[in-house]
Amino acid sequence: MYVEGTLDLLELLIMHPFLKPDDQQKEVVNMAQKAIIRYFPVFEKILRGHGQSFLVGNQLSLADVILLQTILALEEKIPNILSAFPFLQ
């Protein structure tokens, strides 16, 4: 479930370079809003709730890798996107 949710957000990032230049900036704002309002609060709550450093159990999983990949890609476009999410940082 975590991977699928993260892939939904990652899909927005993947499509970004194929947009018209005028639409790219609008899409950055859209991606930021979706990440901050819909996706990151869920992952922040999961990490805060179970006290582990990983999304599933106490070891690195595919969900962690996909989330990290998505966060790094988002940070390229929006450097301070994790400012309100200390557990994701």
Q: Which domains does the chain have, with CATH numbers?
A: 1-76 (1.20.1050.10)
DSSP 39: I
pLDDT in tens, 8-61: 999 988 888 898 988 988 988 999 999 999 999 999 999 999 888 899 988 999
What are the helix (H) ranges across 1-89? 2-15, 21-34, 40-50, 62-77
This prediction has a pTM of 0.88
Residue 56 burial (CB count, 10 A): 16
Distance separating alpha carbons of residues 20 and 27, to the nearest angstrom? 10
